[in-house]
Amino acid sequence: MNPDFLLFANRLADISGERIRRYFRKAHGLQLKADLSPVTLADREAESLLREAILKRYLDHGILGEEHGAHKPDAEYVWVLDPVDGTRAFIAGVATFGTLIALAHKGEPVLGLIDQPITRERWTGGKNVPSRLNGEFIATRRCESLNEALLSTTSPDLFAPAEQEAFRRVQAKVKHTLYGKDCYAYAMLASGHIDLVIEAGLKPHDFCALAPVIANAGGVMTGWDGAPLTLHSDGRVIAAATPALHREAMEMLK
């Protein structure tokens, strides 16, 4: 992979972080109004800035963004953007939301970046790019079995009934479950603190940036069916610290 892509992704996160920090915990009393809420402004304005920077630098690349839709989605390289993943955490003033920036090559995410602009933590990783947190190499924990695992999911309300049941089967086996960590849970998995994250209903802009960071920290992130994640995956994801744990969890989800 062109090493410029990682440098450029970092530059993008600098741009979005600067804009997002302006709106965090601001405009007391406005947060829940639909059109002018700080989180909506942060999300839209940051995405516009990122798109502008990408178009200026890589004219032939595509862009998929949560807020402003698709531009050349069938290009060889597509940038996948979500400036504020975890909007409820943002609204609530809790710094577990994050900015997700991915680069997909022929539909497959090959570079991922997770940025927490308030705590100034940034995870990166990709094909032939070992995963790092703020420049330091990271690795997943060597947890090989569900009964030792710390499981995380953002909200039990995001599962359809059959998915909920499958999730409960895994949950019944693990050591601890925690909720509500958004993309930060995947970052903590890559850093070796959480062992398993299971979610459903995600969009490409929610998961494309996560998979490369986890895979290049020693973990595994796929669909519930074990297939590699692509721009066309169904949004049911499983991220695990080790291949053995991934296998065991996937069996239970079936």
Binding site for a second copy (CB under 8 A): 25, 28-29, 31-32, 88-89, 91-96, 119, 141-143, 148, 150, 152, 154-157, 175-181, 184-185, 188, 191-194
Q: Quote the distance between the C-alpha of residue 182 and its chain's center.
A: 8
Neighbour count for residue 228 (Cβ, 10 Å): 14
Integer Cα distance of 108 and 87 in angstroms = 26
Q: How far is the CB of 250 from a second copy (least distance, A)?
A: 21
- CA 162 to CA 109: how far, in whole Å? 28
Pairing of strands 108-116, 98-105: antiparallel
What is the DSSP secondary-structure string of 80-132? EEEEEE-HHHHHTT-TT-EEEEEEEETTEEEEEEEEETTTTEEEEEETTEEEE
User: Toward a second copy, which CB reaches closer, 154 or 233?
Assistant: 154
CA end-to-end span of the chain, whole Å? Answer: 35
φ/ψ (deg, to 5) at 178:
-130, 155
To the nearest whole angstrom, how small is the minimum distance from the Cβ of residue 100 to a second copy?
A: 17
Sign of the torsion angle spanned by Cα atoms 208, 214, 215, 220:
negative
Q: 46 or 138, CB closer to a second copy?
A: 138
Of the pair 8, 186, the CB lying nearest a second copy is at 186
CB of 123 to a second copy, least distance (A): 12
The two three-digit tokens of residue 143, written as one number: 């947890």
| Comparison of 113 and 188: residue with beta carbon closer to a second copy | 188
Q: How far is the CB of 66 from a second copy (least distance, A)?
A: 17
Give the pairing type, strands 196-199 and 150-153. parallel
Residues 104, 207 contacting (CB under 8 angstroms): no
Q: Which is nearer to a second copy, 6 or 151 (CB)?
A: 151
CB of 106 to a second copy, least distance (A): 34
Closer to a second copy by CB, 32 or 59: give it.
32
- What residues pair up with 99 in beta bridges, in sequence order? 115
- Least Å distance between CB 89 and a second copy? 7
Nearer to a second copy, 5 or 24 (CB): 24
Q: How far apart are CA 233 and CA 108, in angstroms?
A: 10
Min dist. Cβ of residue 37 to a second copy (A): 11
